[in-house]
Amino acid sequence: MPEYISGELKPAGLRCLAGIHYHPSIQAMKGLLMMKKRTAKLIDGKKVSEAILSELKQEIEGLKAQGITPGLAVVLVGEDPGSQIYVRNKRRTCAEIGVASFAYDLPKETPEKKLLDLIAKLNADPKVHGILVQSPVPKHIDEQKVLNALDPRKDVDGFHPVSKGKLLNGEECFVACTPAGCQELLLRYGYDPAGKHVVIVGRSNIVGKPVAALLMQKAKGANATVTVCHSRTKNLSAVTQTADILIAAIGVANFIKARMVKKGVVVIDVGMNRIPDATKKSGSRLCGDVDFAGVSKKAKAITPVPGGVGPMTIAMLMKNTVFAAKRSGK
């Protein structure tokens, strides 16, 4: 696009030089353009997750030299396309860093008893250090019953009641991967939640509740004042506007708008929503719970979707699996 300097047309591609004075109308135009630009720093989950995975890969080499190969069983029941993608990514990451992956793809009609029998078998298998049952499971299966059946020492997803109880108590435990990923991103980018007001939008068992428990702990990397908002929260904007750190995990595309946040907020977007997009070959694209274009003009820092929290979830799963293997000592 051509640029104008002092009313003259400047050929496209030429850079502006210091000391050039712009016509006032051009200054105004520039100001307008500046206003439209993202000012927030991008919190790059892809980059951080790659760094973590490369650290883990080295650690696994050391463990293998001691005769320990971390092993993760990933169980998928049914053919949910979203779950299939998640599971494929988890298994691929295992292969990339040297974790032994045990794949169980069961048909959607699998009786609950059969799944419970498989869990019992995996609990007893010394080669399996971590077990993950991809959520959601088909409706005829009681998901909580399945999670309760896991050996808590192999609960690398952090979904077992023992893990959740320990998290709330502030004891060492497997922390659910997405909450752990949110915390890791904040810390690696220098946004320590200590003393900050963290507002979480969403109260799910997988993200909202555990991330609240994690960040409110009297512990390094936590010590936040935490507010959890949800569908029944009155005057939500009034609460979200007080957030120093906002964690959006509500599962509604572009839900958090610029007017709902204060200037300088740090935003972690956990949302993973597929929305129609005619410009894409697939006809759709992924988007978060945060209106990125608007909010990124007010925020100090923000995670993109994709490339933010998503890759961190897998990295933390691998970290938990390596921890489980080390602790088992075999």
Which stretches of the chain bind ligand GUN, using CB under 6 A?
132-135, 157, 177-178, 206, 313
Which residues is 4 bridged to in the sheet?
9
User: What is the rounded CA–CA span in Å between residue 32 and residue 103?
Assistant: 53
Q: In the complex with ligand GUN, which residue's Cβ is closer, 14 or 85?
A: 85
Residue recorded with tokens 């860093």: 97
User: Residue 223: phi, psi to the nearest 5?
Assistant: 60, 30
User: What is the rounded CA–CA span in Å between residue 234 and residue 277?
Assistant: 32
Nearest-approach distance from CB 307 to ligand GUN, in angstroms: 17
Which residues is 133 bridged to in the sheet?
75
β-pairing, 225-229 vs 245-248, is: unpaired
Catalytic site residue from 46, 57, 64, 90: 90
Q: In the complex with ligand GUN, which residue's Cβ is closer, 261 or 318?
A: 318
User: What is the rounded CA–CA span in Å between residue 285 and residue 273?
Assistant: 8
CA angle 123, 117, 78 (to 5 degrees): 105
Greatest alpha-carbon span in the chain: 77
Nearest-approach distance from CB 27 to ligand GUN, in angstroms: 49
- Find the residue with minimal CB distance to ligand GUN: 135
b/e sequence 74-87, b meaning 16+ C-beta within 10 Å:
bbbbbebeebeebb
Does the annotation count 281 as an active-site position?
no
Q: How many CB atoms lie within 10 A of CB 307?
A: 17
**List of long-range contacts for 64-67, beta carbons under 8 Å, 24+ apart:** 64/98, 67/330
Catalytic site residue from 36, 144, 155, 157: 157
Q: In the complex with ligand GUN, which residue's Cβ is closer, 134 or 296?
A: 134
Nearest-approach distance from CB 228 to ligand GUN, in angstroms: 19
Contact in structure between 184 and 309 (CB atoms under 8 Å)? no
Nearest-approach distance from CB 239 to ligand GUN, in angstroms: 26
Nearest-approach distance from CB 75 to ligand GUN, in angstroms: 9
Does the annotation count 90 as an active-site position?
yes
Q: In the complex with ligand GUN, which residue's Cβ is closer, 265 or 316?
A: 316
Q: In the complex with ligand GUN, which residue's Cβ is closer, 179 or 298?
A: 179
Nearest-approach distance from CB 219 to ligand GUN, in angstroms: 22
Q: In the complex with ligand GUN, which residue's Cβ is closer, 137 or 267?
A: 137
Does the annotation count 183 as an active-site position?
no
CA angle 180, 317, 282 (to 5 degrees): 100
Residues with a known catalytic role: 90, 134, 157
